[in-house]
Every structure is written in C-alpha cells, then in structure tokens.
C-alpha cells in the first residue's frame, strides 16, 4: 500500500506528491457537482465517472424528472467504472460540500445562433443560481462551461466577489483539443505530441498561438510529415477557421456538442482535485495581462487545487497580441451591455 511521505500528501487515488504548498490543497473524498443535466452536464458527469475524476459526483438541475433519470442511468453503469459514485436531484443541497462545481446550466446555442446572443438569458440564470450554490459549497472552485463562458465568468466573478482564480471558464480547453487533433492528423503524430494553444474568446474571435506551436520540438511550419508536404501559412489559416467553426458544424448535425466538452471539463476537474499544476487555456478575469484587465479571456494558465492562474510570461507575436486585444474588446462590449 502507498504510504504518504512525511512531507507529502495522500491524494484521493492513493498517489503521493511532494508537498510544495500548504496542506490546504489536500483533497480527500473529493466531490464534484455538475450543474445542469442536459447534453453537456450529463456528459461531464459521464466522463468524470468513467475517468474517476472525483470520488463523489453530484448532478443538479431544476428539471427534476430529467436529472433523476440521468443520475439513475449513470449509477446503473457504476459496476463498470472505478470507485466514483453519483447522486443528484433538483434540490441544490446535492451540491453540499463540493470541492469543484462545474456549471453547464442554461439555454443552449441554437443552429445559427452566436454564443453572444445567448448571453442575456444565461447571465440571468447564473445570477439567480450562484448565491444558492455558494451557500452550500462556499469553498468550491467554480468552472463555468455555460456560454458565452468568458462573459459569464466576468459577470459571475463581479457578482460573487470570489478571487479570479476560484471562478473561471473552461474557455478554449475544448478548442485547443480540436486544434491539436487536426494538426496531429495532418502531421501524422499523436494529438499529445502537438504543442499548440487556442487563446482569446471561446468563440468567434479565438485564435491559435502559431508563433509558439510545435510538433514535438519542431516549429509547425518547419515540420515535414512523412506522408505529405509541410504545412503552409494558408493551410494553417484554414485550420484555425475549422477550429473556430467546429461547434457550429457539430450543432448543425446533432443539436449539441457534448462528448468533447465532457472530457475537457473532466480534465480541468482532475487538474484541480489532484493539484496538478497543469497548463491549460482556461479563461480567468485578467489583471494586467499584457496590459489587459477586467476581461476574462483564455490564456495558458496553471490549474491546481488553488484554481487557475494565467502565465504572465506567455509570449505573443505583435500580430497575436493585436488579436488578443480584439478578443478583449469584443467581450468587453458584450459584458458592458449586460451590466446596464
């Protein structure tokens, strides 16, 4: 059996890590609550259950019949998962004592509708829900998935007064996975061997950090795939558009995107609960990040038991910095219109 090292911590899955921070980051019997049992919320719960992302998982939704049915269906499969268990219902008390709350509740994007068009409806849902959640899970880290996730993060951070590291959006974690998949296929390497980030808004103004993208250690434009020619700037531009528009394509075909966001969210939860200090492009309210403040944008950030902290030293080419500012301007305008 694994013994905790004298200055280590026993994590929920029994692994030990050297303790470099205060023991506050120890999370035993970790609890995840997923708010919203729709296409996205049930997929987050399903991914977290299968991956063992948390010891206890709760699903909360105001639609009683729906949430109870989803919980039953998920629970019926737990013979075949690890030790995680699942409860849920339409009483917010199911979220009691959560370490992480992932919010997916809200209206979803309809075919042809932009994420920003959803903003007003979902901002009101979030505003009414957060005080209740904070009452039962005052120490949780809040991850917002509901769209438009960047704008909702700014409004939610302002409304709750939580430190920015404790309330952030899944942001472009999903978009980054889409980018790495496309590049990996084109380059003939595994997705995990692609080092690339989509940053900015989770939406129409998002963009890849091409200046630092590599396959292994090789800059993207220098990489020579075994089956095919090196990529060109034109091709990379097309790939960026494909990533940006990926959600529209999936929604057109099946009405929602759910599996990939389920997995992306489960990974964020794991980085928090296992105090991983993993680098992920989540969206936090920025403070003097390359001159940007008071707006939530995805940039590479360190995700741990303390939450998410943007990496200030992240390098941008002058063009990329211009695009980041464009993203910030677009989001600032939407947030301002919702504050009025």
Binding site for ligand NAD (CB under 6 A): 35-41, 61-63, 66, 104-106, 108-109, 118, 122, 125, 129, 145-147, 149, 170, 174, 202, 256-257, 261
Q: Looking at beta carbons only, is 19 or 159 nearer to ligand NAD?
A: 159
Q: What are the backbone dihedrals phi and psi of residue 110, each rounded to the nearest 5 degrees, phi first?
A: -90, 160
Report d(CA 95, CA 87) in Å as an integer. Answer: 10
User: Nearest distance from residue 186's CB to ligand NAD, in Å?
Assistant: 23
Torsion of CA 183, 188, 190, 196, to 10 degrees: -30
Q: Looking at beta carbons only, is 170 or 274 nearer to ligand NAD?
A: 170
Report d(CA 242, CA 252) in Å as an integer. Answer: 14
- Nearest by Cα to 55 from 12, 98, 1, 87: 12
Considering the candidates 202, 238, 277, 287, report the single residue annotated as catalytic.
Answer: 202
**Residues 6+ away with beta carbon under 8 Å from 227:** 188
Closest residue to ligand NAD, Cβ-based?
Answer: 38
User: Nearest distance from residue 256's CB to ligand NAD, in Å?
Assistant: 4
Check if 202 is active-site: yes
User: Nearest distance from residue 20's CB to ligand NAD, in Å?
Assistant: 31
Q: Looking at beta carbons only, is 104 or 116 nearer to ligand NAD?
A: 104
User: Nearest distance from residue 188's CB to ligand NAD, in Å?
Assistant: 28
Long-range CB contacts (within 8 A, 24+) of 230-238: 231/186, 231/187, 235/186, 236/208, 236/210
The DSSP line for 2-21 is: PPPPTTEEE-TTS-EEE--S
User: Nearest distance from residue 288's CB to ligand NAD, in Å?
Assistant: 25
- Nearest by Cα to 35 from 117, 120, 125: 125
Q: Looking at beta carbons only, is 255 or 291 nearer to ligand NAD?
A: 255
User: Nearest distance from residue 27's CB to ligand NAD, in Å?
Assistant: 24
Report how far apart, in Å, the C-alpha atoms of 282 and of each of 99, 120, 212 are. 18, 22, 18
State the residue for tokens 């992480």: 100
Residues 186-218 as b/e (b if ≥16 CB within 10 A, e otherwise) read: bbebeeeebbbbbbbbbbebbbbbbebbebeee
Q: Which helix (H) or strand (E) holds 100?
A: strand 100-103
Angle (CA) 110 328 36, round 5° = 40
The catalytic residue positions are 202
């Amino acid at each position: 059996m694994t013994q905790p090292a004298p200055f280590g911590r026993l994590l929920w899955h029994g692994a030990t890590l050297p303790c470099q921070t205060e023991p506050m980051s120890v999370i035993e019997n970790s609890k995840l609550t997923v708010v919203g049992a729709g296409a996205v919320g049930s997929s987050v719960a399903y991914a977290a259950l299968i991956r063992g992302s948390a010891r206890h998982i709760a699903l909360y939704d105001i639609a009683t019949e729906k949430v109870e049915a989803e919980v039953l269906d998920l629970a019926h499969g737990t013979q075949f998962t690890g030790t995680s268990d699942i409860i849920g219902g339409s009483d917010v008390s199911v979220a009691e004592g959560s370490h992480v709350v992932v919010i997916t509740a809200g209206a979803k994007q309809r075919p042809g509708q932009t994420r920003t068009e959803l903003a007003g409806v979902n901002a009101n849902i979030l505003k009414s829900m957060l005080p209740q959640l904070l009452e039962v899970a005052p120490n949780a880290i809040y991850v917002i998935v509901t769209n438009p996730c960047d704008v909702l993060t700014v409004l939610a951070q302002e409304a709750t007064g939580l430190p920015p590291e404790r309330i952030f959006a899944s942001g472009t974690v999903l978009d980054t996975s889409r980018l790495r998949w496309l590049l990996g296929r084109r380059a003939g390497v595994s997705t995990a061997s692609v080092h690339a980030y989509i940053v900015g808004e989770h939406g129409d103004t998002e963009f890849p950090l091409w200046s630092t993208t590599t396959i292994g250690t090789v800059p993207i434009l220098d990489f020579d795939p075994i089956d095919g020619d090196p990529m060109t700037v034109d091709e990379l531009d097309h790939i960026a558009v494909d990533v940006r528009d990926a959600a529209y394509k999936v929604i057109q075909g099946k009405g929602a995107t759910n599996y990939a966001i389920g997995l992306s969210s489960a990974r964020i939860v794991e980085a928090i609960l296992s105090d991983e200090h993993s680098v992920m492009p989540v969206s936090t309210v920025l403070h003097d990040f390359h001159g940007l403040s008071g707006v939530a944008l995805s940039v590479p950030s360190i995700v741990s038991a303390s939450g998410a902290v943007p990496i200030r030293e992240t390098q941008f080419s002058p063009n990329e910095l211009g695009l980041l500012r464009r993203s910030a301007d677009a989001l600032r305008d939407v947030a301002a219109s919702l504050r009025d």
